[in-house]
Chains A and B, each alone.
Chain A
Amino acid sequence: MKILVTAAESALGTMLCQHLAREHDVVPTGRSETADVDGYRCLDLTDPEAVATNLEGVDVVVHAVPCTGEQDREQSEQELLDWVSRSTYVLTTAACSRGVKRIVLLSTLDSMRSYDERFIVTTDWQPRPRASAPALAPHMAELVGREIARTGKIEVIALRLGDLGVEVSEQEVVEAVVNALDSELGAQYHWAVQHVASSGRFVR
């Protein structure tokens, strides 16, 4: 399987590339000029032509930007929100036109934390992100993925990752991503969400 990974220069993206490369043809991409990942390509995800070119022959995209798009010092909160939303839109629409089968969209469980801590909060519960750009960005990416998936042109599976080392281990994240590459979404749906946590209140 040929897999394009976004935000490959992030700690999570690099770790995923290393694991996925053992069995798949991985295309690591990111915003940085260079990264310590084999085969890394600098790719501006808001450039539709560049994205389409890099999606040639790709079967699945692992889109790590939504859960790694932390605001850096030189980026305003508005730029962060725009970057995560727009890159997800450009990537998803380009993937549709290139015939990519599925996007595994890595999001975060932070949008579910405002519920009362007594509750077991599953994917049936409405996301309630805080009203700030860093909190809204992964939620916006999910909405973009969900609504485009509704057209039936592509499958999108969102993995809401818990806190690494607290609610979920690296190995569990890798397993969740590997499973999401070709798992059944159920019925005729093109959209699915999973909570990736082995402990805490986000698992039944």
Chain B
Amino acid sequence: MATVMDGKVLILGAGGPVGAAAIDALKDHYQLRVTDARPMAEAAEGPRQSPRAPLPELLGAPHENRVVDVSQYDQVLAAVEGMDAVINLTVLRPHPVLAFHVNEIGAYNVAKACVACGTKRLIHTGPFHSGLGYDSDWWNDFRVGDDIPIHPADDLYALTKYLGNDITRIFAEEHSLEVLTFLYCHFRPREILPEERGKGIHPYASSWEDTGEGFLYGLRAGAMPSPYETFFMCSRLPHDKYRPDKAKRLLGWEAKDTFEVLFSR
């Protein structure tokens, strides 16, 4: 069983707000190797990705901070060595070259390094693009479940992450590496400001705080039914467009935030 109840966990791409949430949720339970393409001290200083997005806490011993370029296999391998689990939060959206290097080649390097090092569990992450503006996306559907195939269209960010997902799946299935892929769409803070009441919410949304806690559940969950499992990591909302059923069933995780005041009169 690949359950990781304690030990050492590597976080790649920890400089963003999801990394900040993951650090906050995991720092008291694991010895973390926190990495990003830029120094974590720099990431901790900001600026924020959006006005209310969290910044990562700069951790001291016994944790470790390190610069890792995920497109460089040697750096990834050195970072993965000695880790019980790996969380890959790396992402690059608009750049026509680096999007491939980070989202596709980075995923290849991480999966390969995990196999080489015998890592117990890899939590891979990526976007669920609920709408890409064409007829084959899922925007007009309801009751969409975790295992539905992603349709990235020609969107650079969506497509390169999609390729990275499939590479990770292929490594998982060939080498019995246990991979949990967490999919996200819209993030927001847990705190609801008075002026936000009744303004509505994206139907695939999660708070930063719930997002961070999801990693703790991901590491501690029991054996998965197959080497590669995909999860919708979002709040259960009455819109009933997206159903995060699998996360509750297999991880025991359910978002605490339901954001009712955002869509109530």
Task: Tell me whether A78 and B71 are in contact (CB under 8 A).
Answer: yes
Bound-state CA distance A169–B100 (Å) is: 35
Q: A96-B154, A128-B173, A136-B108 are in contact. List 10 more A-B contacts (CB 8 A).
A: A81-B104, A92-B154, A93-B154, A131-B115, A140-B166, A147-B151, A147-B152, A148-B159, A150-B134, A150-B136
Decide yes or no: A150 and B153 within 8 Å by CB, A78-B105, A81-B104, A131-B111 being known contacts: yes
Bound-state CA distance A15–B15 (Å) is: 50
Task: Tell me whether B153 and A147 are in contact (CB under 8 A).
Answer: yes
* Chain B interface residues toward A at CB < 8 A: 71, 73, 96-97, 100-101, 104-105, 108-109, 111-112, 115, 134-136, 151-154, 156, 159, 162-163, 166-167, 170-171, 173-175
Residues of A within 8 A of B96 (CB): 48, 90
**Does more than half of chain B's interface fall in helix, strand or loop, or is it mixed?**
helix
> Does A57 count as interface, using CB distance less than 8 angstroms?
no
Task: Tell me whether B163 and A151 are in contact (CB under 8 A).
Answer: no
Interface size on A, residues (CB 8 A): 29
Task: Tell me whether A151 and B153 are in contact (CB under 8 A).
Answer: yes
> Does A89 count as interface, using CB distance less than 8 angstroms?
yes
Bound-state CA distance A109–B16 (Å) is: 40
> Does A82 count as interface, using CB distance less than 8 angstroms?
yes
Residues of B within 8 A of A152 (CB): 134-135
Task: Tell me whether B101 and A143 are in contact (CB under 8 A).
Answer: no
CB distance from A135 to the nearest CB of B (A): 9
Bound-state CA distance A181–B109 (Å) is: 37
> Does A58 count as interface, using CB distance less than 8 angstroms?
no
Bound-state CA distance A150–B154 (Å) is: 9
Produce 1/0 per residue, A128-172, CB < 8 A to B.
111101001001100110011011110000000000000000000
Residues of A within 8 A of B153 (CB): 147-148, 150-151
Measured CB to CB, the nearest residue on chain B to A153 is B154
Task: Tell me whether A85 and B154 are in contact (CB under 8 A).
Answer: no
Bound-state CA distance A153–B100 (Å) is: 22
Decide yes or no: A78 and B73 within 8 Å by CB, A85-B100, A131-B111, A143-B166 being known contacts: yes
CB distance from A171 to the nearest CB of B (A): 34
Bound-state CA distance A85–B101 (Å) is: 11
Bound-state CA distance A51–B170 (Å) is: 31
Measured CB to CB, the nearest residue on chain A to B175 is A131
Bound-state CA distance A90–B109 (Å) is: 23
Question: Can you sample 29 A-B contacts with CB below 8 Å?
Answer: A48-B96, A78-B71, A78-B73, A78-B105, A81-B104, A81-B108, A82-B100, A82-B104, A85-B100, A85-B163, A86-B97, A89-B156, A89-B159, A96-B154, A128-B170, A128-B173, A131-B111, A131-B171, A131-B175, A133-B108, A136-B167, A139-B166, A140-B104, A140-B163, A143-B166, A144-B163, A147-B162, A148-B159, A153-B154
> Does A194 count as interface, using CB distance less than 8 angstroms?
no
Measured CB to CB, the nearest residue on chain A to B73 is A78
Task: Tell me whether A143 and B108 are in contact (CB under 8 A).
Answer: no
Bound-state CA distance A90–B166 (Å) is: 20
Produce 1/0 per residue, A65-91, CB < 8 A to B.
000000000001010011001100110
Task: Tell me whether A81 and B105 are in contact (CB under 8 A).
Answer: yes
Measured CB to CB, the nearest residue on chain B to A144 is B159
